[in-house]
């Protein structure tokens, strides 16, 4: 059994219960982790709270050195980390190698950004005064991390939180805790005790006690809208800082001038990476009516040629989904669309030739509309629904006809279409001709029900710092406007 990290010690915690971690490609047990409890969560809080008193006083330069050292240790263990990610999460190795690069480079990026500045000096009202804006850490940060990118989305929270001077309690997904525990053991061992705690378990038993505790002022969460709304509801009375990224229903618009073969490749990457289990996965596709047949034919041809299989197999293009319940949701969305008049072009079922594993065939559906679940609710799987549009203005309206606003893609070489798209689409990230690319210095996050948090860039650091205004007078003596107001006050 892999153990939790609480106050610098690896421990089973307060319970003997365990959670099995399953390989989604084989449905076989990889290892087990402790089923953490409220008592474990509170122990981690006490540890993090005590460590914060010293950690916030560690110089930015020393914090940066420790973060760079963590990145260095990760690079030394790259093969082990990538393999462990592949086994517990299921993505093909190339996709986990990309996640690994984001992990280590995010630590290096925030190591430097964290010592760049701590606020600013303002023009003072009087020559004898100094006015400053100081950015300070909040204290204990709870990072509740999902299973689809367990280390990338950990780094996007943990690295800026540490750089800002906070201590952190990590609650990894019960589906993918092993890679996080590996980092805790091999790569974070040089941090002072209590600066990083890792508690494993289920959300209601571990994460909710963190959200409810008065000594955890910041909750950083990536996951479903429903859970994000629950966190917001129970945290609201305590006026906590909430950092919520709540998924999306991202659209991809292919313009008339696009090349069909290029469009098929770009779209398939945007929709099928990690078997469509990405918050920014393309889940709505809009094709020009005049060229719909040409584009849809190229898309179907490309998707049919992709190889479905275990992520550990170097020839695999699309790996398994994370679990049966997630696959069942995709099937339900596909069935609902077909029963409502949509046309299944390829896929749409569980493959039989692979035997065990939570696989689902990459699926393309046409003749969809916005009354169908597959065009309105987050599907989070390898399904590509294709819908026609008459003109570009209509395409923009269709993109914005969603409760979510995380990201949106456009494929076009027409600069006017690109400008209209980036100006009019209500989404946190706009990709034009290069879907799903991120930038360490560019903020990532959504609008509308996708949440208002931002990760990466200076904005990602600001999420974990609060602002204080300091007004300092150097001159001695009373001010003319102090009491009393009569002559005797002079």
Does 488 map to a domain? no
Residues 358 and 389 in one domain: yes
Average pLDDT, the chain: 97
* Strands (DSSP E) found in 114-178: 119-122, 129-137, 140-144, 167-171
Query: Which of the following is catalytic: 88, 279, 409, 463?
Result: 279
If asked whether residues 13 and 136 sit together in one domain, one would say yes
**Does residue 444 sit within a domain?**
no
pLDDT at 50 (0 to 100) = 98
Q: How far is CA 352 from CA 91, 273, 289, 349, 355, in A?
A: 20, 22, 35, 9, 6
pLDDT at 340: 98
Residues 326 and 296 in one domain: yes
Cβ atoms 245, 221 nearer than 8 A: yes
User: What tens digit of pLDDT does each residue of 416-447 get?
Assistant: 999 999 999 999 999 999 999 999 999 999 99
295 in the same domain as 240:
no
- Burial 34-60, CB ≥16 within 10 A → b, else e: bbbbbebbbbbbbbbbebbeebbeeeb
Q: Is residue 165 part of a domain?
A: yes
Choosing from 99, 245, 388, 455, which is the catalytic residue? 245
Concerning whether 187 is annotated as a catalytic residue, the answer is no
313 and 220 in a common domain: no
CB 369 within 8 A of CB 379: no
- Domain range for 257: 250-432
- Residue 294 to residue 299: CA distance in whole angstroms: 9
pLDDT band at 486 (very low <50, low <70, confident <90, very high): confident
Residues 340 and 391 occupy one common structural domain: yes
Looking at the structure, tell me whether residues 224 and 282 fall in a common domain. Answer: no
178 and 325 inside one domain: no
pLDDT at 205 over 60: yes
Dist CA 387 CA 252 (whole Å)? 10
- What's the CATH code of the domain at 395? 3.40.309.10
338: enclosing H helix or E strand: helix 324-339
* Tens-place pLDDT, residues 141-166: 999 999 999 999 999 999 999 999 99
Q: pTM of the prediction? A: 0.97
Mean pLDDT of all residues in 223-252: 97
Tell me if 489 is assigned to some domain. Answer: no
Let me know if residue 81 belongs to a domain.
Answer: yes
The reported pLDDT for the residue numbered 489 is 53
Specify whether 245 is catalytic. Answer: yes
How far are the Cα atoms of 147, 177, 269, 279, 475 from residue 90, in angstroms, in the given order? 10, 13, 17, 16, 65
pLDDT above 70: residue 488: no
pLDDT digits (tens, 9 = 90+) for 32-75: 999 999 999 999 999 999 999 999 999 999 999 999 999 999 99
For 269-283, what is each residue's pLDDT tens digit? 999 999 999 999 999
Mean pLDDT along residues 86-109: 98
Q: Which residues contact 408 (CB under 8 A, 6 or more apart)?
A: 250, 251, 252, 253, 399, 421, 425, 427, 429, 430, 431
Assigned domain for 399 exists: yes
Mean pLDDT across 119-147: 97
Are residue 366 and residue 268 in the same domain, yes or no? yes
Is residue 263 located within the same domain as residue 401?
A: yes
H/E stretch holding 430 reads: strand 429-432
Q: Which pLDDT tens digit goes with each residue over 170-191?
A: 999 999 999 999 999 999 999 9
CATH number of the domain where residue 87 is located = 3.40.605.10
Same domain assignment for residues 152 and 273: no
Q: How far is 136 from 45, CA to CA, in rounded Å?
A: 19
Q: Are residues 205 and 328 in the same domain?
A: no
The domain tally of the chain equals 2
The answer to whether position 483 is within a domain reads no
Q: Is residue 126 part of a domain?
A: yes
Is the pLDDT reported for residue 487 higher than 90?
A: no
Helix (H, G, I), strand (E, B) or coil at 369: coil
């Amino acid at each position: 059994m892999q153990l939790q990290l609480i106050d610098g010690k690896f421990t089973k915690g307060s319970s003997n219960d365990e959670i099995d971690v399953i390989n989604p490609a084989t449905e076989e047990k990889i290892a087990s982790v402790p089923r953490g409890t409220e008592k474990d969560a509170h122990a981690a809080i006490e540890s993090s709270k005590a460590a914060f008193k010293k950690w916030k006083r560690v110089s930015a330069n020393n914090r940066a050195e420790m973060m760079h050292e963590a990145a260095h240790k990760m690079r030394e263990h790259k093969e082990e980390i990538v393999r462990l990610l592949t086994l517990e999460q299921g993505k093909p190795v190339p996709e986990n190698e990309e996640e690994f690069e984001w992990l280590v480079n995010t630590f290096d990026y925030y190591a430097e950004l964290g010592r760049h500045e701590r606020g600013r000096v303002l023009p003072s009202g009087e020559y004898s005064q100094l006015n400053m804006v100081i950015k300070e850490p909040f204290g204990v940060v709870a990072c509740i991390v999902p299973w689809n990118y367990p280390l990338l989305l950990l780094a996007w929270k943990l690295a800026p939180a540490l750089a800002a001077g906070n201590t952190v309690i990590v609650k990894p997904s019960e589906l993918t805790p092993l890679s996080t525990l590996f980092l805790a053991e091999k790569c974070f061992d040089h941090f002072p005790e209590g600066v990083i705690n890792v508690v494993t378990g289920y959300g209601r038993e571990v994460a909710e006690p963190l959200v409810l505790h008065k000594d955890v002022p910041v909750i950083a969460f990536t996951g479903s809208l429903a859970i994000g709304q629950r966190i917001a509801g129970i945290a609201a009375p305590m006026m906590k800082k909430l950092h919520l990224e709540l998924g999306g229903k991202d659209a991809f618009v292919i313009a008339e001038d696009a090349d069909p073969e290029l469009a098929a490749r770009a779209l398939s990457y945007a929709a099928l990476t990690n078997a469509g289990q990405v918050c920014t996965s393309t889940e709505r596709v809009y094709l020009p009516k005049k060229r719909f047949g040409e584009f849809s034919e190229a898309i179907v041809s490309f998707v049919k040629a992709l190889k479905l299989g275990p992520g550990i197999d170097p020839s695999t293009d699309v790996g398994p989904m994370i679990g049966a319940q997630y696959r069942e949701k995709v099937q339900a969305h596909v069935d609902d669309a077909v029963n409502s008049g949509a046309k299944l072009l390829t896929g749409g079922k569980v493959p039989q030739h692979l035997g065990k594993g939570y696989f689902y065939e990459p699926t393309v559906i046409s003749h969809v509309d916005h009354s169908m679940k597959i065009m309105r609710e987050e599907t989070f799987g390898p399904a590509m629904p294709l819908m026609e549009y008459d003109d570009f203005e209509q395409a923009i309206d269709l993109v914005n006809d969603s409760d979510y606003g995380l990201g949106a893609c456009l494929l076009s070489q027409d600069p006017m279409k690109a400008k209209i798209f980036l100006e009019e689409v209500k989404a946190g990230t706009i990709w034009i001709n290069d879907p799903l690319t991120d930038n360490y210095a560019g903020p990532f996050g959504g609008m509308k029900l996708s949440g208002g948090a931002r990760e990466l860039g200076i904005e990602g650091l600001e999420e974990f710092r609060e602002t204080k205004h300091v007004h300092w007078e150097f001159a001695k003596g009373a001010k003319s406007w102090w009491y009393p107001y009569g002559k005797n006050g002079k």
